Amino acid sequence: MSARNHLTMFRSAALLALGLFLVGCASQPEVRTQTAANANLAGYRTYAFMPKPGTDKDGYKTLETQSLERAVGREMLARGYAPAAAEQADLLINFNVKEKDKVEGDVGPTAGFGYGWGRHYGYGYGFGFDDYYNGITTVTEGSLMIDLIDRSRNEVVWSGTAVGELTRKVLNNPEPAIDRSVADIFARYPIRPR
């Protein structure tokens, strides 16, 4: 194999490794949305938040709920919806937040082999082993669900969910993560901001 082919193969492998690394480091939440079959979201004009959303289980408005109301309110206003009293609004908005721990990683010893070419040192290779449990970690995963409910029919007409890792940084300062997650969810809302 010529030196040019080795260099091309090495560059391709390096770019593939870089691409996989960047995908693996992406901290964007996974977002899913769903629209009811009979929903005409453009027909609604007003919204209100549920008096007791799923994030307020203890009978008072939590800081989490206040942050969600601000972020969702911005998104709804940007799409032309106006706030209204809960008993008069076309849409009621509910939130739910869940978290769970999950174990990630590979069990079992692993081995790796590498091969490369260097201009001054020629060809080279490497081989290595990893411990049985080195790749095991516990990750806390959080889910944010936002439901838009047709008040007159008492049916969900649109739902958005964001699932992502809850890092120490996010737990210590949740407001930016809430804003980003709400924006990511509403980026998939059928009506675009005006």
pLDDT over 70 (residue 42): yes
* Residue 14: both structure tokens together: 């390096």
Higher pLDDT, residue 179 or 135: 179
The residue ranges of every structural domain in the chain are 29-108+135-186
pLDDT given at position 106: 64
pLDDT over 50 (residue 21): no
Looking at beta carbons, which pairs linking 2-10 to residues 24 or more positions away fall under 8 Å?
3/117, 3/119, 6/117, 6/123, 7/117, 10/116, 10/117
* Residue 5: both structure tokens together: 């082919």
User: Options 3.20.20.100, 3.40.640.10, 3.30.160.670, 3.40.50.10320; which CATH number does 29-108+135-186 get?
Assistant: 3.30.160.670
Mean pLDDT for 71-78 is 97
Instruction: Categorize the per-residue pLDDT at 122 as very low, low, confident or very high, splitting at 50, 70 and 90.
Output: low
pLDDT given at position 17: 30
pLDDT given at position 37: 94
pLDDT given at position 6: 43
Instruction: Provide the percentage of residues in the chain whose pLDDT is more than 90.
Output: 49
How confident is the model over 151-163, as pLDDT tens digits? 999 999 999 999 9
Query: Residue 121: how many CB atoms within 10 A of its CB?
Result: 8
How confident is the model over 6-15, as pLDDT tens digits? 444 434 333 3
Q: Which residues contact 162 (CB under 8 A, 6 or more apart)?
A: 29, 30, 31, 143, 144, 181, 182, 184, 185
Higher pLDDT, residue 99 or 78: 78
The identity of residue 10, as a single letter, is F
pTM of the model: 0.70
pLDDT given at position 10: 37
Mean pLDDT for 53-77 is 93
pLDDT given at position 146: 97
